[in-house]
Amino acid sequence: MRRIVPALAASSFLLASAAPAAAALKTAVFAGGCFWSAEKAMEHVPGVRNVVSGYAGGASRNPNYQNHAGHLEAVKVTYDPSKVSYAQLTDAFFHNIDPTDGGGQICDRGPSYRTAVFVADGAERKTAEAVKAQVSRTLKKPVATEIRPAAAFWPAEAYHQDFARKNPINYNAYRIGCGRDARIKAVWAGR
């Protein structure tokens, strides 16, 4: 029994120290046009732990790909703020879209493909607005990306999750056909 008590105490300590690390993770929601492309881009940001494709900003409950009117295609990013700040994450988001396009993104046109940063509180709003202002100064153009209050995030269907990784041929055909890389490069060239 005496040997079990120290072992249990050590196990409890390890579990207790692991819990705060997991609790320290934060989430952010961004709408960047096609959620496949936004997911792929945000997954490569250092400090990002997980990215989920979905829908945000609309009034209906449980939207799906066939019926998500009023919602934007969005991604929910889980990140470690000790490795990437909210400002850095938001800046990375802006550098993977054309923030001057108010009608969608590249070849994806229409209301559900508009861009937005969904902010959870005043601090996030202040940061997002500062990043947006810096992007506008850098590009020397108005930025169409909206800063919106946080809204319910609804995960997209399973076949949309990790689409670029699971379906590289289809995803790359879409990305090349859309001209996404060329457009992003043109927007951000030398900046």
Of the residues 28, 29, 31, 34, only one is catalytic, namely 34
Which residue spans within the chain are E strands per DSSP? 26-32, 48-56, 72-79, 104-105, 108-109, 115-119, 146-149, 153-155
User: CB neighbours of 128 closer than 8 A, spacing ≥ 6?
Assistant: 90, 117, 119, 147
- Exposure string over 180-190, b if 16+ CB within 10 A, otherwise e: beebbeebbee
Tokens of 182: 């060329």
Concerning whether 34 is annotated as a catalytic residue, the answer is: yes
Active site residues: 34
